[in-house]
Amino acid sequence: MALTLGADGTVDAARISVAGADSTPVRADTAEALLVGKLPSDELFAAAADAVAAATNPPKDIHAPAEYRREMAAVLSRRALKNAAARANRGE
């Protein structure tokens, strides 16, 4: 998960990939496109996290059902986006 912010505070670039929520790692390009050009906000991150979850096709197994894995992809993506925005604001 990586965000780059422009001088005006909008997202210049976003990179999102998820592992463990599909049979192979997934690059969430739809979610990335949703972020670019917009100001970071909780609402924007929630929409992007939903797009991440929609991009996954998690398997179900003895450890977790597919629905749980998809929901966790959204929850963890939302948290990671907030952290990435905070790092970008600090110039990290």
d(CA 72, CA 20): 10
The pLDDT of residue 48 is above 90: yes
Alpha helices in 24-65 (DSSP H): 29-35, 42-54
User: Is 0.85 topped by the overall pTM?
Assistant: yes
CATH superfamily membership of 2-89: CO dehydrogenase flavoprotein, C-terminal domain (3.30.390.50)
Coil, helix or strand at residue 2: strand
pLDDT tier, 88 (very low <50, low <70, confident <90, very high otherwise): very high
- Mean pLDDT value of segment 19-39: 93
Pairing of strands 11-15, 2-5: antiparallel
